[in-house]
Amino acid sequence: MKTNIQGTTLTVAGIAELSATSSTTFRDETRAALTAAVTTLDIDLSLTTFVDSSGLGSLIALHKTMAGRGGALRIIKPTPTVVQILELTRLHRILEIVS
């Protein structure tokens, strides 16, 4: 997992999977990387091939974190597998997806 801040945007990329064993670390490390200036959190899921329900939970947790500080979370270029899961669980209605 790589984080990169440009201006007010924090990009998190290089995530292979978000599963029960990795999602808590992902959430906590992302939160730790959030500086006060960040208003947009871009989660790049272009390399992510697996997301389970705890992974979805971590995305929602971060979404709430961002909403709480007046910012926004975006899902960037999710793979078709991940899109399927986001849509199936109707999370496309609360998470911004940029393809």
State which of positions 4-33 bind other proteins (CB under 8 A): 17, 19-21
Q: Contact between 77 and other proteins (CB under 8 A)?
A: no
Q: Is 72 in the site for other proteins (CB under 8 A)?
A: no
Determine if 96 is a binding residue for other proteins (CB under 8 A).
Answer: yes
**Quick check: 88 binds other proteins (CB under 8 A)?**
yes
54 lines the binding site for other proteins (CB under 8 A): yes
Under the phi-then-psi rule, with left for phi > 0, alpha for psi from -120 to 50, and beta for the rest, what region is 42? beta
Side by side, which strands form the sheet with 2-6?
2-6, 9-13, 40-44, 72-76, 96-98
Query: Minimum CB separation from other proteins for residue 49, in Å?
Result: 8
State residue 19 phi and psi, 5-degree precision. -125, -175
CA–CA separation, 4 vs 10, rounded Å? 6
Footprint of other proteins (CB under 8 A):
17, 19-21, 49-50, 52-54, 56-58, 60-61, 64, 81, 83-97, 99
